[in-house]
């Protein structure tokens, strides 16, 4: 990263708090900030103080013990309060020898008004650990951000009699004194007993949820490796043969043909004009040839998996975005502020994440996320891992008539390629090609829904591209009872980012949790 930028209006003697969220890239030039007032940059730089541990998304995350000891520890970063963190650290020390995970507790601000009210503010942490009273006493915006963080793959531990969203209770798994609520791609664990009363297996289960939440960044790789796994176009090579033929023709025209023709008409002095003219027309021909072959605007490919909870009217989306542009887009990329973008900028030879790309990158946070310079280069693929949590009102209405016929109304706003609905007893009904706003009669399938509470958490911890393919090819393996899978040839829950494109290869698998499940 080169810079993060945001503008705010502050009145006389006023104050303002700025949230500059940094993607999984390091800023190599320190943590100082430049301040501009009315377009004039102030002398000197503002020194910013950062906490020692802001999450392990950009750290190696491993700690080594003695040379011969088989103790390779994986660090997991936990956001907590001073009180809860101290209580956990004292109790966990008794069992840390048998654990392969080393929690790094980061106390949050004492003032709850300074906690992030956007879920991206928590995305660098592998887990959040709070007292239930603190969680329920936090501002509503902070609670909502933490809930979205969990549904986007995070892990939340609440100590005490906590109140969780009603939509989470369908997937509750009770193993006293712990109760796990599998919400979206993440999990919320509630404990009614203090840390001192836990057994070693309780600590193991909690640290496992934290470790699962940090698995997805392992998919980050280099730009060309990402393009091999998720090609935007079948062929992104330079049309060498056509360019070579044009250059050979240019050499023949500007050399022998030009000299022989001017010699025949006895006007060799004209070479001072014909040579630049032929060069100009050749350049135009080369540019025109490249435009004809590659086009002018960019190509986009997207694959996403969206958990659409119709009860809470929230959607959590994970997936891949890929770009290939014949020319560098002058306007960059634009996304909303609730979308996490993790670029595939890791170096192939280093084999680790978080290394800066060849070009410095900048983000303007004034109106969502504006990825300005350094992100997309002409003829170089660019890929992102994406996560998004947002409020959505779309839904699919499933009805059962008196004669037993099952029908569905498509309220997702785009056409459905395939739809699979699991009844509460596990029976699956399906239909193909349902237009936006249209309806279709579903037919009974011979297979049964075998998904379980951890299905989506397992999807999040695995390969997202493979999971999307498996959901399409084997929906019964992933479907939970009372849910549906809708395969779309659009990406309504992801943003393309480019204002103009010449091709879009989009696919979304919607995992819907019905407000009124289909009964037998």
pLDDT band at 356 (very low <50, low <70, confident <90, very high): very low
pLDDT digits (tens, 9 = 90+) for 455-474: 999 999 999 999 999 999 99
Q: What is the pLDDT of residue 71?
A: 43
pLDDT of residue 241: 77
Q: Are 397 and 381 in contact (CB under 8 A)?
A: no
The average pLDDT across 376-398 equals 92
State which residues form the domain around 186.
53-214
Band of the pLDDT at 91, cuts 50, 70, 90? confident
Q: Is residue 262 domain-resident? A: no
The pLDDT score that the predictor gives to residue 294 is 76
* Identity of the highest mean pLDDT range in 255-259, 298-302, 497-501: 298-302
User: For 397-406, which contacts have Cβ atoms below 8 Å and span 24 or more sequence positions?
Assistant: 398/442, 398/484, 398/514, 398/516, 398/518, 400/518, 400/519, 405/441, 406/441, 406/442, 406/518
Spatial separation of the C-alpha atoms in residues 177 and 306, rounded to whole Å: 32
| DSSP designation for 163 | -
Assigned domain for 86 exists = yes
Number of neighbouring beta carbons within 10 Å of residue 36: 10
Is pLDDT of 349 > 60? no
- Predicted pLDDT at 60: 37
* Position 443 pLDDT exceeds 90: yes
**At 118, which CATH number?**
3.40.50
Rounded to whole angstroms, the Cα distance separating 482 from 474 reads 17
| Residue 492, in any domain of the structure | no
Counting every residue, how long is the chain? 520
Q: What is the pLDDT of residue 173?
A: 94
Domain count, the chain: 1
Q: What is the pLDDT of residue 447?
A: 92
Domain contains 141: yes
Q: Is the pLDDT of residue 68 over 80?
A: no
Choose between 291 and 398: higher pLDDT.
398
Specify if 242 maps to a domain: no
Which residue's structure tokens are 């410095």? 360
Highest mean pLDDT among 67-81, 347-361, 422-436: 422-436
Rounded to an integer, what distance in angstroms lies between the CA atom of residue 237 and that of residue 339?
Answer: 31
**Cα(509)–Cα(356) distance, rounded to whole angstroms?**
32
* 174 part of a folded domain: yes
What is the distance between the alpha carbons of residues 375 and 499, in angstroms, rounded to a whole number? 15
Residue 216 confidence (pLDDT) above 90 = no
DSSP, collapsed to helix, strand or coil, labels residue 463 as coil
**Bridge partners for 508 per DSSP:** 304, 488
Per-residue pLDDT at 66 exceeds 60: no
Task: Check residue 99 and give its pLDDT.
Answer: 60
Q: If you average pLDDT over residues 149-177, what whole number do you get?
A: 93
Lowest average pLDDT, out of 140-154, 204-218, 337-351, goes to 337-351
**Mean confidence (pLDDT) of the chain:** 85
Q: Please give the Cα distance from 387 to 448 (Å, whole number).
A: 30
Is a pLDDT exceeding 70 seen at residue 129? Answer: yes
Per-residue pLDDT at 270: 83
What mean pLDDT is predicted for residues 387-394?
Answer: 94
User: Residues 488, 415: contact at Cβ < 8 Å?
Assistant: yes
User: Which of 17-26, 80-89, 398-407, 469-478 has maximum average pLDDT?
Assistant: 469-478
* Residue 104 belongs to a domain: yes
The predicted-structure confidence for 194-207, as pLDDT tens digits, reads as follows: 998 898 888 888 98
Distance CA 349, CA 332 (A): 28
Is residue 304 one of the residues assigned to a domain?
no
Q: What percent of the chain has pLDDT over 70?
A: 89
Other CB atoms within a 10 A radius of the CB of residue 515 amount to 14
Alpha-carbon gap, residue 354 to 346, rounded angstroms:
6
What's the DSSP call for residue 33?
B
State pLDDT tens for residues 20-50. 788 877 666 566 777 888 777 777 777 766 5
507 vs 244, residue with greater confidence = 507
* pLDDT tens digits along 173-186: 998 899 999 999 99
Q: What is the distance between the alpha carbons of residues 259 and 447, in angstroms, rounded to a whole number? A: 78
Distance CA 431, CA 419 (A): 5
User: How would residue 150 be classed by pLDDT, with cut points 50, 70 and 90?
Assistant: very high
Q: Tokens 């951000």 sit at which residue?
A: 145
CB 236 within 8 A of CB 381: yes
CA count, 13 A, side-chain hemisphere, 211: 14
CB distance 122 to 116 below 8 Å = yes
Q: Among the ranges 54-68, 202-216, 406-420, which has the highest mean pLDDT value?
A: 406-420
What value does the mean pLDDT take over residues 493-505? 91
pTM for the whole structure: 0.86
């Amino acid at each position: 990263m080169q810079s993060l930028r945001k503008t705010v209006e502050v009145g006389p003697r006023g104050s303002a708090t700025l949230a500059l969220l940094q993607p999984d890239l390091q800023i190599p030039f320190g943590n100082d900030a430049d301040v501009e007032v009315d377009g004039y940059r102030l002398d000197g730089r503002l020194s910013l103080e950062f906490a020692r541990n802001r999450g392990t998304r950009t750290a190696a995350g491993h700690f080594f013990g003695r040379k011969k000891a088989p103790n390779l520890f994986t660090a997991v970063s936990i956001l907590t309060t001073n009180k809860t963190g101290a209580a956990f650290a004292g109790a966990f020390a008794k069992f840390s020898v048998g654990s392969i995970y080393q929690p790094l507790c980061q106390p949050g601000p004492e003032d709850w008004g300074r906690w992030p009210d956007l879920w991206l503010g928590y995305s660098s942490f592998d887990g959040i650990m709070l007292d239930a009273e603190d969680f329920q006493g936090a501002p509503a915006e902070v609670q909502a951000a933490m809930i979205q963080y969990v549904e986007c793959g995070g892990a939340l531990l609440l100590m005490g009699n906590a109140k969780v969203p009603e939509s989470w209770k369908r997937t509750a798994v009770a193993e006293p004194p712990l109760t796990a609520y599998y919400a979206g791609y993440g999990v919320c664990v509630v404990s009614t007993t203090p840390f001192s009363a836990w057994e070693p297996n309780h600590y193991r289960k909690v640290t496992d949820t934290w470790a699962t939440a940090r698995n997805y960044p392992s998919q980050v790789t280099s730009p060309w490796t990402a393009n091999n796994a998720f090609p935007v176009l079948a062929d992104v090579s330079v049309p060498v043969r056509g360019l070579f033929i044009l250059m050979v023709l240019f050499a023949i025209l500007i050399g022998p043909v030009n000299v022989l023709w001017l010699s025949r008409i006895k006007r060799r002095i004209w070479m001072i004009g014909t040579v630049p003219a032929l060069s100009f027309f050749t350049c135009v021909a080369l540019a025109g040839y490249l435009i004809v072959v590659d086009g002018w605007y960019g190509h986009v490919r997207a694959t996403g998996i969206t958990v659409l909870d119709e009860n809470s009217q929230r959607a959590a989306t994970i997936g891949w975005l890929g770009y290939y542009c014949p020319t560098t887009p002058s306007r960059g990329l634009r996304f909303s502020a609730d979308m996490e973008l993790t670029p595939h900028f890791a170096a192939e030879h280093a084999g680790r994440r978080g290394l800066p790309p060849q070009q410095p990158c900048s983000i303007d946070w004034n109106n969502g996320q504006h990825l300005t310079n350094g992100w997309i280069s002409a003829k170089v693929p660019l890929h992102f891992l994406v996560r998004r949590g947002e409020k959505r009102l779309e839904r699919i209405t499933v009805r059962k008539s008196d004669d037993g016929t099952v029908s569905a109304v498509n309220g997702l706003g785009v056409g459905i390629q395939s739809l699979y609905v699991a009844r509460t007893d596990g029976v699956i009904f399906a239909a193909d090609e349902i237009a936006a706003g249209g309806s279709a009669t579903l037919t009974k399938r011979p297979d049964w829904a075998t998904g379980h509470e951890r299905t989506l958490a397992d999807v999040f911890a695995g390969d997202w591209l493979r999971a999307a393919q498996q959901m399409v090819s084997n929906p019964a393996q992933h479907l939970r009872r009372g849910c549906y899978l809708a395969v779309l040839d659009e990406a309504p829950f992801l943003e393309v980012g480019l204002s103009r494109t010449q091709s879009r290869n989009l696919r979304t698998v919607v995992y819907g949790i019905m407000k009124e499940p289909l009964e037998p």
